[in-house]
Amino acid sequence: MALSRVSGARAVLWSSLVTRRLQLGPSGLAWGAPRSSQLHLSPKADVKSLISYVVAKTKAMNGKYHRFLGRHFPRFYVLYTVFMKGLQWQLTDLCNKIQRGTHPAAQELLALRQCFCSRPLDMNQLQTPQMKALSRAMLLTSYLPPPLLRRRLKAHTTVIHQLDKALAKLGIGQLTAQEVKSACYLRGLNSTHIAEDRCRTWLGEWLQISCQLEEAELSLLLHSVVLLSTNYLETRH
């Protein structure tokens, strides 16, 4: 029991220290406070590119896979297409709302988690331009071969997911104002000029999403760096 308490205390302390000081630099993880708003995590061109990509991919159907299901599993195919078309419509509608300036609710994103754990939006299917844009959104260098870009995005998102679980156990209320801003900045929100209470609200929304995702669904968390931060208060363009 004593060992368990010590381990738990160490985990909480580690999470607090990481949240306090860990920030994203241009080429990876770096240490320090959030820098100026010039380093915006979601450049306007990248936002448009990523959202357009999601819309296009959800509209496109995988011909070979659908023909295979229709030929060999006709009854399942009927249910599958109804389900997938419903999800695709929801995702397209959500992206259209974001393009019009709406900030999505956490539950709206969670409702679409299945779209991000299968083709074409899971991490193994992302195309190079999208991986580069997502890397820039996380302030990571995009000048790497595609296999390395994919591997690093996976690793980076997994680390943030683990930090989220530790932070949820610690509690947002335990963080100082600077720690809250740093935690938001790490996760894609340019918190430099956003009030502390608004940062706490946004961080709560992020954790609500992250802590309900499984490993296979982490592409949604990666895309949330853009989807959840684009229209949030002063970050809107």
Confidence of residue 233 (pLDDT cuts 50, 70, 90): confident
| More confident of the two residues 41 and 127 | 127
pLDDT digits (tens, 9 = 90+) for 174-212: 999 999 999 999 898 988 889 999 999 999 999 999 999
Share of the chain above pLDDT 70, in %: 64
Give the range with max mean pLDDT: 11-25, 47-61, 106-120, 146-160.
Answer: 146-160
CA distance 31 to 170: 21
The answer for residues whose C-beta is within 8 angstroms of residue 74's C-beta and 6 or more apart is none
- Which amino acid would we find at residue 132? K
pLDDT digits (tens, 9 = 90+) for 122-178: 999 898 988 998 998 888 889 999 999 999 999 999 999 999 999 999 999 999 999
Confidence of residue 31 (pLDDT cuts 50, 70, 90): very low
Contact 193, 158 (CB under 8 A): no
Beta bridge partners of 63: none
If you average pLDDT over every residue of the chain, what do you get?
Answer: 76
pLDDT at 138: 85
- Taking the whole predicted model, whether its pTM rises above 0.75 is answered as no
